[in-house]
Amino acid sequence: MITGANAGIGKQTALELAGLGAHVVLVARSEERGQAACQEIINQTGNKLVDLLVADLSSQAAIRSMVDTFKNRYDRLDVLVNNAGVFFSNRQVSVDGLEMTFALNHLGYFLPTILLWDVIAAGGPARIVNVSSDAHRGAKINFDDLQCEKRYQGFTAYGMSKLANVLFTYELDRRRQGTNVTVNALHPGFVASNFGQNNGGMVGFFMKRIVPWFGRSVAEGAATSVYLASSPDVEGISGKYFTDSKPVQSSPESYNVETARRLWEISEQLTHTNFPTLAVPA
């Protein structure tokens, strides 16, 4: 399963995994764009095992509905690539009343993973791949203003959400002990895709007109996701942060265990869910 898979590095990841013979499930917000992406992947790879689930991952109800549909169709999930992400120059609020960057970029990873955990852990070796960003470097989780209600800056909110991805990865790695599931995060690089083009003004202009001149190709941006999802080289490796298919150190703040546990607990509260399968090691 690849989220945010109708365009950009999400679609490229799905394309390359389908090319390797995987049964791929795309998650997209738009039925029309999602179906078009599925057909394009089938046409390019000849692999007809390409399915679509439609969900707005900023909506917790939509996530739960998507997970229910998945479980009705399939009995296991070998690889989950949490890829969907967004940047907003102006503060927006999700249907659940949460700041949109946090809702989509963090809880849009957290909630599907927790709800899908039983079918992930039930099969053979399974992998969770969280697409983060080096934008997490220098960021901190502001628990006093987690929803950016007091002050909103787009790049600050985005950096905090990408730090949350890494913190979530490391905390899930601590909690997954006893299962045959690995979880890793990655930085895809600065990619010339449609990311951020939803914004107007100078941000939208920069993303549409300037980034394509010096950003990485979509294939280059998806390479580490594909590597972590499929390569035998990373079998059994978990709790790492990768750049260019190599493990590197993430920011010092990302290794703060207390911050990770606090963020996890708040995320459970905000999503009205929990992770009861395993206890946290002392």
Q: Pick from 228, 227, 220: which is nearest to 188 by CA? A: 220
Which residues of the chain form beta strands (DSSP E)? 2-3, 24-28, 50-54, 79-82, 126-131, 181-187, 241-243, 246-248
Residue 276 is predicted with a pLDDT of 60
Q: Write out the two tokens for 125.
A: 């070796």
Spatial separation of the C-alpha atoms in residues 208 and 54, rounded to whole Å: 26
Spatial separation of the C-alpha atoms in residues 278 and 280, rounded to whole Å: 7
Tally of CA atoms within 13 A in the half-sphere of 84 that contains its CB: 33
Amino acid identity, residue 75? D
The structure's pTM equals: 0.90
Spatial separation of the C-alpha atoms in residues 276 and 117, rounded to whole Å: 10
C-alpha triplet 175, 180, 184: angle, nearest 5°: 60
| Active site residues per annotation | 158
Helix axes 31-45, 8-19, angle to 10 degrees: 40
Q: Pick from 129, 150, 136, 163: which is nearest to 16 by CA? A: 129
Q: Write out the two tokens for 87.
A: 């940047």
Residue 264 is predicted with a pLDDT of 98
Strands 126-131 and 181-187: parallel
Instruction: Please name the fold of domain 84-271.
Output: Rossmann fold (3.40.50)
Q: Pick from 188, 163, 3, 161: which is nearest to 88 by CA? A: 161
Inter-residue contact 13 to 81 (CB < 8 Å):
yes
CB atoms within 10 A of CB 265: 12
List of the chain residues with pLDDT < 50: 193, 195-199, 201-213, 278-282
